[in-house]
Amino acid sequence: MISAALIIMLATVMFGMSGDGGNVPVVQKEATVNVSSQVSPQGEKTQTTNSDPVNTRDTVKDQFGIDTGLTKEEIYNLRNDYERLAEKLEIPKGRNGFKSLFEGKKNLNAYNELKQLGVDLKNYGAPNHATSHLENTLNSRIVILGEITDVVYVEDQKFFNSYFKVKAFEFIKGKEYIKDELVDHIQVLSKNGKKVSFSDTTPLQIGDKVMFFLDFLNENDNHFSSISLSERFIINNQLYSNSKNTLIGDLSSEIAKMKEIIKLNDSENFYKRSYRKEE
């Protein structure tokens, strides 16, 4: 059998739309197509083409390992537009500027609407600001309602951290991060331990029904960390503060607000929006 390989190099330059509506040149990677001519058993020449799929955009991932769908240059431009908008809204800079706000995927385009729902992004990261359950809805990746089934106190750590085993009975946010077989025994590390060092906090105990605001402690297992003293107690379908002394409101009504906030912030489309506002 006689064969020959002909390599055709295809190079194209296309223009992609940047987040601000302008044109940003994106150089496509070269695609290699192999074409071979062969002689069939009948003596006739046949031609086959083998084309490997090529990723034509070198996109980057965010700090959570999620593909942003944007190149480094596009991310750079998006961040600049985002920070300019934050300054225009007079949002105070944190210790690291607006980095935490950006990485937390807060939708600045919905600033006024979020404020009307009880979430003022100007308070994000502000010192001595006691965050509400509505604000913590955006500050955490996972929000669950669960019952504490077990606890292990770790009294030699700062703030008397404790591990709680939690059986989730409702997810408000982040269900995709927890495997179905782990829902009944989620491990939560909380500062609300046996020896609570905060006078306005009631220790969590087995049997308590609690609203937890969680982030990953270790993404490779079933361990999560509760945002500092953010837990809220659930008593007779009412939501209470972490001291049990203050009634926040009807549980179903508060959950409805939280879901509206999550929908309005729409973090899944954070990198698809433009944050450029014309003067």
**pLDDT value, residue 69:** 94
pLDDT of residue 2: 40
User: E-strand spans in 130-257?
Assistant: 142-153, 162-173, 186-190, 209-218, 223-226, 232-235, 238-240, 247-250
Q: Residue 7 is inside which H or E element, if any?
A: strand 4-10
Specify the pTM: 0.74
Please return the burial class of 15, using the count of CB atoms within 10 Å of its CB with bins 0-12, 13-18 and 19+. Answer: exposed
How far is the C-alpha of 187 from the C-alpha of 179, rounded, in Å? 13
* Token pair 């600049």: residue: 80
State how far the Cα of 249 lies from the Cα of 243, in Å rounded to an integer: 14
Q: How confident is the model at residue 24 (pLDDT cuts 50, 70, 90)?
A: very low
Q: How confident is the model at residue 124 (pLDDT cuts 50, 70, 90)?
A: confident
Q: Which whole-number Å values give the CA distances from 89 to 95, 112, 119, 255, in the listed order?
A: 18, 10, 14, 28
Task: Report how far residue 103's alpha carbon sits from residue 134's, in angstroms, rounded to the nearest whole number.
Answer: 19
What average pLDDT does this structure show over 77-104?
93
pLDDT at position 119 is 96
Task: Name all domains of the chain by residue range, CATH numbers in brackets.
Answer: 4-51 (no CATH), 59-129 (no CATH), 131-265 (2.40.50.120)
pLDDT at site 53? 52
